[in-house]
């Protein structure tokens, strides 16, 4: 059965390695008939949650009027969410974190999303650099009660274009096909 898959990319660098990794996943998922929407949250204007709870009294509508308004309709119907983020300093980018915090707007009415995946990469050659973000992801999806569909890791991807031919591209496409 076809799913609605929302992919959020956290890199502010357009045409970078994270974008290529997300596109490989999307290509695999689309081959299996899924509907995939990608939002480049890394270059969007998304502020952090201010915990005003306006959303609880207004059917999940957020009081802040920024680019999250473009994402909320797709988020509301997403069966799966995929986080794609580079690691700049031992964690998700601030842009991914702001997106995650703004998911709070749906806490009052509940979430449609049931599963998730993580596409994570870094410029470092040490794969341990990815572990703090992976642990944060696993803690978050555990709290949200989401089924983990997989984690794709890429290391030694520092400069734009380094991802060309990297094994993580094939892994991301295979993960997309497995959904």
**Is residue 110 predicted with pLDDT exceeding 90?**
no
**Is residue 54 predicted with pLDDT exceeding 90?**
yes
Nearest-angstrom CA–CA distance, 59 and 6: 21
**Is residue 137 predicted with pLDDT exceeding 90?**
yes
What pLDDT band is residue 88 in, cutting at 50, 70 and 90? confident
User: In CATH, which of 3.40.50.360, 3.60.20.10, 3.40.50.10190, 3.40.50.620 is domain 4-178?
Assistant: 3.40.50.360
**Is residue 108 predicted with pLDDT exceeding 90?**
no
Give the H or E element holding residue 116: strand 115-122
For residue 107, the model assigns a pLDDT of 85
**Is residue 81 predicted with pLDDT exceeding 90?**
yes
Overall average pLDDT of the 73-88 stretch: 96
What pLDDT band is residue 18 in, cutting at 50, 70 and 90? very high
Q: Where are the domains of the chain?
A: 4-178
Q: Which residue stretches of the chain are H helix?
A: 17-31, 54-57, 68-77, 94-102, 131-144, 167-178
């Amino acid at each position: 059965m076809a799913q609605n898959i929302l992919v959020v990319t956290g890199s502010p660098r357009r045409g970078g390695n994270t974008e290529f990794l997300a596109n490989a996943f999307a290509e695999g998922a689309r081959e299996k008939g899924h509907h995939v929407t990608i939002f480049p949250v890394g270059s969007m204007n998304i502020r952090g949650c201010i915990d005003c709870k306006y959303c609880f009294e207004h059917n999940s509508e957020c009081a802040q009027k920024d680019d999250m308004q473009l994402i909320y309709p797709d988020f509301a119907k997403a069966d799966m969410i995929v986080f794609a983020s580079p690691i700049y300093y031992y964690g998700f980018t601030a842009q991914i974190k702001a997106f995650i915090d703004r998911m709070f707007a749906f806490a009052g009415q509940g979430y449609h999303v049931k599963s998730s995946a993580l596409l994570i990469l870094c410029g470092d050659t040490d794969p341990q650099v990815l572990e703090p973000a992976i642990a944060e992801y696993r803690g978050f999806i555990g709290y949200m009660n989401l089924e983990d569909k997989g984690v794709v890791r890429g290391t030694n991807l520092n400069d734009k274009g380094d991802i060309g031919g990297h094994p993580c591209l094939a892994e991301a496409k295979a993960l997309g096909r497995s959904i």
